[in-house]
Amino acid sequence: MTAFEPVPSYYAASANPTPPRPALQGQVDADVCVIGAGYTGLSTALFLAEAGYKVVVLEAASVGWGASGRNGGQIVNSYSRDLDAIEKQASPGNLKLLAEMAFEGAQIIRQRVKDYAIDCDLKEGGVMAAITNQQLKHLETQQTLWQKYGYDQLDLLDAKGIRSVVDSERYVGGVLDHTGGHIHPLNLALGEAAALESLGGQIYEHSAVTQIKPGEPVELVTAQGSVKARFAVVAGNAYLGDLLPQLASKSMPCGTQVITTEPLSNEQAARLIPQDYCIEDCNYLLDYYRLSGDKRLIYGGGVVYGARDPADIERIIRPKMQKTFPELAKIKVDYAWTGNFLLTLSRLPQMGRIGSNIYYSQGCSGHGVTFTHVAGKSLALAIQGQAERFDAFASLPHYPFPGGRLFRVPFTAMGALYYNLRDRLGI
């Protein structure tokens, strides 16, 4: 899929009205120029606009066209690797900050929804469901770990408990996270874009940055124009391509697929997921699903390379859905799409600065709805001269993919196979 093809998603089909935005033409000056109108870029831009900065966002396609407008919509706390991994890497001061921020993204989203009256079907409560007893043990450990850092919003669910929140025989237990939840992800991005514009921020669509000329000011060049700014923020994530080779070499775009069924009956929706929580399982290549505002089942899963055709996507994801809910064998799938997230070798996000004024954040490894909002706050504060949070993230090591860029796909495909096998063996 090229940068300009529309996404055949349920979200695009049910998006709130949004104005078309012009492509950048000519030269524009700004305090900060952001590359990418996903959550990372929009969140950073919005925090900065709230602080009085003149912000310009350059988006190659349209607002929310990337992962932010295609994802599972699940608000999940912490990071793709949990705090135990961070404990091994961070100094005590940084660990404390990183642990606090692990639970902050969900609150930032709720605050945005409230402050700017964003209509995005926000629902409260997320469930992590264990397929094996070993996964359930791990969830118990996770509850203790999060409690250690002051988070007490997880309730353990035994076999009966999980059955009361999701009518599937697949699970032996789980946890309910009361500050988890779900949203219509594209409508959240569109709402954040409108909020930014209400504060004077400018967004140019169909304006791919093709060159970054370092300097003070830094200059960001598009096909028909350029922006000169005191600071740049690179938030292109999995769709950034080769614009900055030093970022490309330490990350890998991965595809994950989502299908959306026709609306369930009210009775069926209330029976399958009675409290309307979102659910993800605990496999490394996890299934994630939830009901939409109009009671469709939105079901995503796995990491598959090269699946682009909607029929292919349904062939991959439908069996997963039917394994969870056998009674949906005959349900019609109305939408199927794919999206890219950015994997890092450590599965921890990468935040940093190139030179004195080019900031970046990328690589939430498939777990970015909350993190990107924390990233936005951290980058915006760093630009305002308060770099404590930024420094804590930047202190986490970034690793290049072994074998260089040519070998990234085979290596990680092998890694995915390994974890898939590990999930199946329950080890």
Ligand X SMILES: Cc1cc2nc3c(=O)[nH]c(=O)nc-3n(C[C@H](O)[C@H](O)[C@H](O)COP(=O)(O)OP(=O)(O)OC[C@H]3O[C@@H](n4cnc5c(N)ncnc54)[C@H](O)[C@@H]3O)c2cc1C
Q: Applying CB under 6 A, which residues contact ligand X?
A: 3, 35-41, 58-61, 65-68, 70-74, 76, 208-209, 235-240, 243, 256, 258, 288, 300, 339-341, 364, 366-369, 372
- Least gap, CB of 425 to ligand X (angstroms): 26
175: which 2 tokens? Answer: 């946890």
- Least gap, CB of 159 to ligand X (angstroms): 25
**388 by DSSP, 3-state: which?**
helix
Point out the residue whose Cβ comes nearest to ligand X: 368
- Least gap, CB of 258 to ligand X (angstroms): 5
Burial class (CB in 10 A: 0-12, 13-18, 19+), 251: buried
Burial class (CB in 10 A: 0-12, 13-18, 19+), 414: exposed
- Least gap, CB of 148 to ligand X (angstroms): 23
Angle (deg, nearest 10), helices 39-50 and 369-383: 40
Using left for φ > 0, alpha for ψ between -120 and 50, and beta otherwise, residue 302 falls in: left
Q: Which is nearer to ligand X, 92 or 233 (CB)?
A: 233
Q: Which is nearer to ligand X, 24 or 139 (CB)?
A: 24
- Least gap, CB of 244 to ligand X (angstroms): 9
Three-state DSSP string of 145-211 = HHHHCCCCCEEEECHHHHHHHCCCCCCCEEEEEEEEEECCHHHHHHHHHHHHHHCCCEEECCCCCCE
Comparing C-alpha atoms, which of 293, 285, 295 is closest to residue 317? 285
Q: Which is nearer to ligand X, 40 or 226 (CB)?
A: 40
Q: Which is nearer to ligand X, 14 or 137 (CB)?
A: 14
Q: Which is nearer to ligand X, 186 or 272 (CB)?
A: 186
- Least gap, CB of 91 to ligand X (angstroms): 26
Q: Which is nearer to ligand X, 201 or 300 (CB)?
A: 300
Between CA 76 and CA 185 the distance in angstroms is 13
